[in-house]
Structure 1
Amino acid sequence: MEKYYIGMDIGGTKCAVLAGTKDVQVLERIEIPTDHTMLPEDYIMERLVPLCCSLIEKYKERGTFQAVGISCGGPLDDRRGIIMSPPNLPGWDEIHIAKMLEEAVGLPVYLQNDANACAIAEWKFGAGIGSRNMIFMTFGTGMGAGLILDGRLYSGTNGMAGEAGHIRLAEQGPEGYGKAGSFEGFCSGGGIKNLCRLMAKERFQGEGICILGKEYSPEEVTAKLVFHAAREGDTFSVEVVQECARYLGRGLAVLVDILNPEKIVLGSIFVRGEDLLRETMEACLRTEVLPASGSVCEVVPASLGEAIGDVAALSVAIVNGGRKDEQETKLY
C-alpha cells in the first residue's frame, strides 16, 4: 500500500490539516479558524485531533499513514515537541502537542518551526532541490532562516538556529524582532512599514506618509502598497524599496561569509518583488561578501508559492516519518 502522511500547519489566524503522499500530493485539506477563546489543549483535542482522525479513517483503505508533521511559528522545542509561547499564539505556553497527538492518533508526530519546515520543503521539493548547503529566508511578515548544512537541517543546541532577523545591521533603523536596525527591521512586511515611517518623518517632516499623491497614516502602509507604488514610479516608495534591498544584500552577505551556502532561497516578499529588489541586493551582496564565497552562491526566489505551508507541514512528516532510530529520525 502507498505511504500517506498527515500535515498540520498551525497559524495565528487559521490552522490547516491535510493528508498527502510521499510526493507531497495533497489528498485532502481542511482549514479552520484558530480559536483563541479556547484553551490550547482543548483546541487541539476538540478541533485538530478529530480532523486528523477523520482523514486517517477516510484514506486508510488506500494507504498506510506513517507520521504527522506540524509546522508552527516559534519559539518551540522541536526535540520534545513542545510549542513555547509563539507571539501569534497567545496562551500557547509549553504545549506538549507532539505527545498529545501521538497518544490520540497513534502515529509518530514531529514538530518544526515554520522557517525550518519551509526550508525542508524548498530543499526537497522546490527551489533548493539538489543543494547540500542551502539557506531559506522567510522574508514575509517576519524574517527568519531555515538552515540546510551538509545535507541536513541544522537547528542548533536548543532549536534556536536561524534567527537571522535578530541580527543588527545598523546602529539605528526600523525595529524588528524587538531590536532597532535589525535584519527583520529592514527586510520584512512589518519592518518595511516601520522603515516607511522613519524615512517619511525625515522626508516629509511629519507623521503622514505621502504615496502616489495620497497621504497615509503609518498604520495604513503595507509592503504591498509600497511595492505597487514603486512600480508606478513613486519616488519615495522607490527609495524605501532600495533601502530594503541594500540591507537585504548586507544581511545575506553576513550569512554567506559565515555559512558558505551554494543557494539562498528567499520567501514571499522577494517572490513578489524580485524585479525591484534583485539588482540593488546583488550589488550590495557582491560588495560585502568574500568573493570566493559569493561566487558559488546563487540567490533565488522560493518556488512553492501559496502551497508552501501545506508542503512544509507534509515535508516534516515525510522526511522524519518511518525511521525507527531517534538519532536517525532527527535531521540535526
Structure 2
Amino acid sequence: MEKNVRQGNQPERFALVGDIGGTNTRLGIMSSDGRIVERIKDLDSRRLNPEMLIDNINRLYVDCKDYFRSPDSFVGVSIAFAGLVNQTLGGMEASPHLSNYVGISFLDMLHNRLPGIHYVENDAAAACLAEYRLGAGVGAKNMIYVAVGTGIGGGLIIDGSLYRGSGGFAGEIGHIYAGSEFMCACGKSGCLEAMNSGSGIETYLSNIHVLDAYDDMWKRASGESQRYANAVGSEWVVSVETIDRIGKNIGTGLGSVVNIMNPDTVVIGGGLSSWTDDLLSPISESLRETAFGPMTKGLRVSIGSLGDQAGMLGAGLLLFDIYSAT
C-alpha cells in the first residue's frame, strides 16, 4: 500500500486515534491533513477492558509502522471516551456506559506502552470539534452538537472555540431533565437519554412488549441503528411513532439549550443519526416550537456529515493542535 509521507514541503505526520463509545470501539490512523488513512474493524466496547484496549492500540501501532518512517512522523495517541474525562486524572471520572474505565489514568497506560504525545477527551466534545472544523458545522461561530447513540452526549462551540466548562465536562445534554419516568444509566431518573438514546429505545420498546416477538433479530443485529431498525422493522407504525417521539423529545431538550446559548448552528450526530430523514424533521420542529422565537432566527439545524469517524477525527485534531503548539 502506498503511503503519503509528505504534505507540501513538510513531512506528513500521523496519530493513532480512537472513539470508545458505549457499544462500539473504533480505532484508526489519522493523517495531519485530516484523513482517516487506516481503520480496523469496530470492536465491541462491552467486551473490552482497559488492558485489552491498550493491547489493541499497541497492535495497530505495530501493524501500521509503515506510516511512521521517521521518528517525527508519529505524533502519538488520542482517544475519545463516552464519559466525563478528567484531564488531571488522564481518564474518566464518571461514565454510565464504560464503568470499568472510571478512575483509571488511561494516559499513564499509554505512556507506559507507546512513544509520543497522548491525549484523552470526551467523545461528543471531540466529535463536535470535528464537525465544526471539517463537517456540517463549517462556517459556524456558535454551535451545539448532540450525539444520539447508546447514550446522548453533546459538545458546544462558543465564539469559535470548544467550550469545556469549569471542570471540563460541559455539554452533557443527555442529562437535562426531560420528565421521563425511566431510570437513566447515570443513576438518576428523568434524563433526556433515559428514553431517547439507543439504550433508552431498548427500555421503551421492552416496556411496550414490541421486542418479544423479534428476539432472534435482536440477538443477530449489531450497532444501535441496525439493532433497533431490525427489532421493530416489521412493526412500521410503531417504528415511525417511536422515532418521531425521540426526535420531538430531543428537539424539546435542545430548545432549552438554544435559549441559553443562542447558537447559529445545531448539528445532530451519533449512531442513531443514520435515521436522518425520520429524526431531523421532528427534532427541528420541536426545537423551534420550544425555543424563544428570536433565538431561532437564522438557526441552521443539520445532520453531521462525518458519520462514525467524527469522534476519531476530533480526537486527532486535538492531538495535532497540542503537537503544533509545542
User: Given the two structures, how large is their TM-score scaled by the length of structure 1?
Assistant: 0.78
What does the per-residue CA deviation read over 1:144-167, in whole Å, with 9 as the maximum and x for residues that have no partner? 101111111112122221111111
Q: In the alignment, what sits opposite 2:268?
A: 266
What does the per-residue CA deviation read over 1:88-143, in whole Å, with 9 as the maximum and x for residues that have no partner? 44433422222443454442212101111111111111111122211111111110
Q: In the alignment, what sits opposite 1:27?
A: 37
The answer to whether structure 1 residue 52 and structure 2 residue 61 are counterparts is yes
2:16 aligned partner, one-letter code: G
Check conservation: 1:142, 1:189, Cα contact below 8 A: yes
Q: In the alignment, what sits opposite 2:281?
A: 279
Q: In the alignment, what sits opposite 1:251?
A: 253
Q: In the alignment, what sits opposite 1:209?
A: 210
Deviation at 1:284, TM superposition (A): 2.0
Check conservation: 1:230, 1:241, Cα contact below 8 A: no
The answer to whether structure 1 residue 161 and structure 2 residue 163 are counterparts is no
CA distance in 2, matches of 1:63, 1:26: 19
What does the per-residue CA deviation read over 1:28-50, in whole Å, with 9 as the maximum and x for residues that have no partner? 33458579899735763x55345
Residues 143 and 66 of structure 1: CA distance in aligned 2, closer, same or farther (over 3 Å): same
SS in structure 1 opposite 2:129?
Answer: helix
CA distance in 1, matches of 2:310, 2:151: 16
SS in structure 2 opposite 1:112?
Answer: strand
1:236 aligned partner, one-letter code: V
User: Which sits farther off after the overlay, 187-196 or 298-307?
Assistant: 187-196
Q: Which runs of 5+ in 1 are unaligned?
A: 201-207, 325-332
User: Given the two structures, how large is their TM-score scaled by the length of structure 2?
Assistant: 0.79
Check conservation: 1:78, 1:113, Cα contact below 8 A: no
CA distance in 2, matches of 1:38, 1:274: 30
Q: In the alignment, what sits opposite 1:308?
A: 310
What is the 5 A alignment of 1:180-195?
A: 180-195=189-204
Determine which of 286, 295, 298 is the counterpart of 2:297.
295
Check conservation: 2:225, 2:275, Cα contact below 8 A: no
Check conservation: 2:18, 2:25, Cα contact below 8 A: yes
CA distance in 2, matches of 1:95, 1:297: 40
What is the 5 A alignment of 1:1-332?
A: 1-9=10-18, 11=20, 15-30=25-40, 33=43, 40=50, 44=54, 46-49=55-58, 51-52=60-61, 55=64, 58-61=67-70, 64-84=73-93, 86-102=95-111, 104-170=113-179, 172-177=180-185, 178-198=187-207, 200=208, 208-209=209-210, 215-216=213-214, 220=218, 224=226, 234-268=236-270, 271-324=273-326
CA distance in 1, matches of 2:44, 2:239: 34
Paired residues, what number?
A: 310
CA distance in 1, matches of 2:48, 2:284: 47
Q: In the alignment, what sits opposite 2:4?
A: none
Deviation at 1:58, TM superposition (A): 4.4
CA distance in 2, matches of 1:32, 1:283: 34
Give the greater-gyration-radius structure (CA): 1
Q: Which runs of 5+ in 2 are unaligned?
A: 1-9
Check conservation: 1:18, 1:55, Cα contact below 8 A: no
